[in-house]
Amino acid sequence: MTGPGPATPRVLEALDVSHRFGQLPVLVEVGFHVNDGESVGVVGPNGAGKTTLLNVLSGVIRPDAGRVCFDGVDVTKLAVDRRCRMGVGRAHQVPRPFGGMTVFENALVGATNGRAMRRRAAHQCAMEAIDRCRLSPLANRRAETLGLLDRKRLELARSLATGPRVLLLDEIGGGLTDAEAVELLDTIREIRQEGIAIVWIEHLVHVLVQAIDRLVCFDQGRVLADGDPQVVMSDPVVIDAYLGSAEL
């Protein structure tokens, strides 16, 4: 008889992380992880600490207590750029394209700065990222002229150009119509199939559950539930805290 196989390695995790804004606790001894190649959804009411968690994981915020580890290495004190080059990518709710630059040039910045690639390799990487996000026909368009869906795609492409092992998505579906959200979902599914781990905060739960392996619910800076999406969604504690009033 053989024993259980080796555990899937945790690519990114928060260990007993706490953080305050002034006297307000935003994260309280949070334990959170995403396995290599896994897709994890994060939900919770406004002010639950979801975006703060992503800021801690990406290096925007250094927690007051606890540790952040990437691939088993303590990165708690490392800045955003160091974590990015290690493989932590980030896409924001409000797209932040570099104005006055084309779609291609925006992706190129990700490859050259986030991945420290030389010119020819960076050009190829940028074009591949644009293609993966279905932006090739718009490669020479100025980023600020894009519609919202394409700006969201560009946010993804620029992150992909950094070569992430884990991609942090902060309500990237925000502001989109249902049809646009489904289009973006298709792109994220394809990214997931490439083996990139994903942590996705989203209020559009009916879209989110189509792209995740695990669902984590936050409330008041604490993890309320963590597990199979359908099980978490049916948990009375989660329903009372969030799902009863969420946009399902």
Q: How many residues does the chain have?
A: 248
Contacts of 145 (CB under 8 A, 6+ apart): none
The least confident of 51-55, 166-170, 207-211, 213-217 is 207-211
> In whole angstroms, what is the distance from residue 225 CA to residue 238 CA?
7
Task: Write out pLDDT tens, residues 36-57.
Answer: 999 999 999 888 999 999 999 9
Contacts of 170 (CB under 8 A, 6+ apart): 50, 51, 54, 90, 91, 92, 93, 201
Claim to verify: residue 173 and residue 71 sit in the same structural domain: yes
In a domain, 2, yes or no: no
Q: CATH number of the domain at 206, please.
A: 3.40.50.300
In a domain, 1, yes or no: no
Claim to verify: residue 133 and residue 33 sit in the same structural domain: no
Claim to verify: residue 13 and residue 83 sit in the same structural domain: yes
pLDDT recorded at residue 243: 61
Q: Look at the chain and report how many structural domains it folds into.
A: 2
What spatial distance separates the first Cα and last Cα of the chain, rounded to whole Å?
Answer: 45
Over 90: is that where the pLDDT of 4 sits? no
pLDDT recorded at residue 9: 86
Q: Mean pLDDT, the chain, as a whole number? A: 91
In a domain, 202, yes or no: yes
Task: Write out pLDDT tens, residues 102-129.
Answer: 999 999 998 988 777 778 889 999 999 9
The pLDDT confidence band at residue 6, using thresholds 50, 70 and 90, is low
Over 90: is that where the pLDDT of 217 sits? yes
Claim to verify: residue 177 and residue 214 sit in the same structural domain: yes
Give the structural domain span for 206. 8-87+167-243
Task: Write out pLDDT tens, residues 65-105.
Answer: 999 999 999 999 999 999 999 999 999 888 888 889 999 99
Six token digits for residue 169: 């998505």
pTM (two decimals): 0.91
pLDDT recorded at residue 106: 94
Over 50: is that where the pLDDT of 248 sits? no
> In whole angstroms, what is the distance from residue 133 CA to residue 157 CA?
6
> In whole angstroms, what is the distance from residue 150 CA to residue 157 CA?
10
Mean pLDDT over 190-201 rounds to: 93
Residue with tokens 């974590």: 83
Claim to verify: residue 78 and residue 191 sit in the same structural domain: yes
In a domain, 248, yes or no: no
> In whole angstroms, what is the distance from residue 84 CA to residue 154 CA?
17
For residue 74, with 0-12 CB atoms within 10 Å meaning exposed, 13-18 middle and 19 or more buried, which class applies? exposed
Task: Write out pLDDT tens, residues 11-26.
Answer: 999 999 999 999 999 9
> In whole angstroms, what is the distance from residue 111 CA to residue 119 CA?
9
Where is the domain boundary, 128, 148, 163? Answer: 163
Six token digits for residue 89: 């990518």
Claim to verify: residue 150 and residue 180 sit in the same structural domain: no
Judged by DSSP in three states, 239 sits in helix
Residue with tokens 């009863």: 244
